[in-house]
Amino acid sequence: MGRNQHFLPAEKLIKLNKKRIELDGIKGIQSFAEKIVTDIINRGSILSKHMGTDIIDSSEISKIIELNYDYTFGLREITGEEDRPAENYIEKMAEISKQK
């Protein structure tokens, strides 16, 4: 696949920071981007299969990216706080931190 036929074209990379990038640098970024996207899709496919569905939905993609790449789209605030610790746990941890 040529550098201009990639889903992340060289021109877009150059426009991002308005600096020239060596051809090997562009190829490296494109390869890494392709690896990340493929990894997310594969993990989403496994997760959706586990959930018994044929569709990879946005919550699965968000969870994969958050857990593996430490990035969030802010969907947790919109959909609720499903993984929030219990109030008594938060209070206990606050008490412990005050004692230190």
Give 45's contacts (C-beta < 8 A, 6+ positions apart): 56
What domains appear along the chain, each with residue ranges and CATH number?
10-99 (1.10.20)
pLDDT interval class at 89 (50, 70, 90): confident
Q: Is the CB of residue 15 less than 8 Å from the CB of residue 8? A: no
- Whole-angstrom Cα distance, residue 59 to residue 2? 33
DSSP string, 3-65: TTTSSS-HHHHHHHHT----HHHHHHHHHHHHHHHHHHHHHHHHHHHHHT-S---HHHHHHHH
Convert the pLDDT of each residue in 13-37 to its tens digit.
899 888 899 999 999 999 999 999 9
Q: What is the pTM for the complete model shown?
A: 0.64
Convert the pLDDT of each residue in 50-62 to its tens digit.
888 899 988 889 8
